[in-house]
Structure 1
Amino acid sequence: MANAASGMAVHDDCKLRFSELKAKRNYRFVTFKIEDQQVIIDKVGGPDKSYEDFTNSLPVDECRYAVFDFDFTTDENVQKSKIFFITWCPDTSKVRMKMVYASSKDRFKRELDGIQFELQATDPSEMSLDIVKSRAI
């Protein structure tokens, strides 16, 4: 279904993979890219992957959307998990690409029911593990 504002469709696989990440914990992360006026799956990281594996999977000069299932332990020693939606738009990516990702983000995010936190990053320091931890706790 296309979004009138951006003309962007969301492939069914995107919702399926997100649902599997959220409910079954089959994945640690899923990255998405826009191709041919549609949001599609870019990469998936298995449950054994780390946050570093995730950040290393992002291209240095192209935008991506991503969801990351962040596990942590609270001060009360309770295991918890939070799902982050991350918009990756590095400064080195093309202006048109950044505009397309920015205009399509809200529509795509609405398709993924269960997002708990959102981050936007233009360089790796804006989505460091410390930042993710501080948002989750």
Structure 2
Amino acid sequence: MANSASGMAVNDECKLKFLELKAKRIHRFIVFKIDEKLQQVTVDKIGGPSESYDDFTACMPANECRYAVFDFDFITSENCQKSKIFFIAWSPDTSRVRSKMLYASSKDRFKRELDGIQVELQATDPSEMGIDIIRARAL
């Protein structure tokens, strides 16, 4: 089980849904949250393949921390279609201090459970995860 040094336990559904996003591409994004009562990371929201980055950012709560993965499609300067899986640690300045500490201390362990993340982003404000930043980090 989880302890304060290792972070939270990870619900099996998190790994399963991430594999579906990575291998089958049936999800555009997944938002995860820490359930403090269960002491584990759980799936909060899932976005379908047709959903946009704006749909994804609209799912992020203004005053609560979350982890998320987003499958970002883009075209390179050589005109090649590519995609990268982003891991986003959302920790708004307005969230509770305890929550921010919990998410920060659990992030690395949780990220290790999701094999295939290509880019990591830390955001405390919506401007820090704007589409321009995502695009620049993908290239």
CA distance in 1, matches of 2:76, 2:3: 39
Equivalent residue, structure 2, for 1:55: 57
**Greater Cα shift, 2-11 or 95-104:** 2-11
The code of the aligned residue for 1:34 comes to I
Equivalent residue, structure 2, for 1:33: 33
Contact 2:74 2:82 in 1 (8 A): yes
Shift of 1:4: 5.3
Shift of 1:6: 4.5
Shift of 1:2: 2.4
Pairing 1:101–2:112 present? no
Contact 1:21 1:27 in 2 (8 A): yes
CA distance in 2, matches of 1:13, 1:34: 13
TM-score scaled by length of structure 2:
0.96
Structure 2: gaps (5+ residues): none
When residues 98 and 19 of structure 1 are mapped into structure 2, their CA distance, relative to the original with a 3 A threshold, is: same
Equivalent residue, structure 1, for 2:131: 129
Equivalent residue, structure 2, for 1:20: 20
Provide Cα deviations, 1:58-96, integer angstroms capped at 9, x if missing partner: 000000000000000011111000000000000110000
CA distance in 1, matches of 2:99, 2:4: 18
- SS in structure 1 at match of 2:74: strand
When residues 23 and 3 of structure 1 are mapped into structure 2, their CA distance, relative to the original with a 3 A threshold, is: farther
Identity of aligned residues (%): 73
Contact 2:30 2:68 in 1 (8 A): yes
Shift of 1:8: 1.1
The code of the aligned residue for 1:40 comes to T
- SS in structure 1 at match of 2:121: strand
TM-score scaled by length of structure 1:
0.97
When residues 51 and 28 of structure 1 are mapped into structure 2, their CA distance, relative to the original with a 3 A threshold, is: same
Aligned length: 137
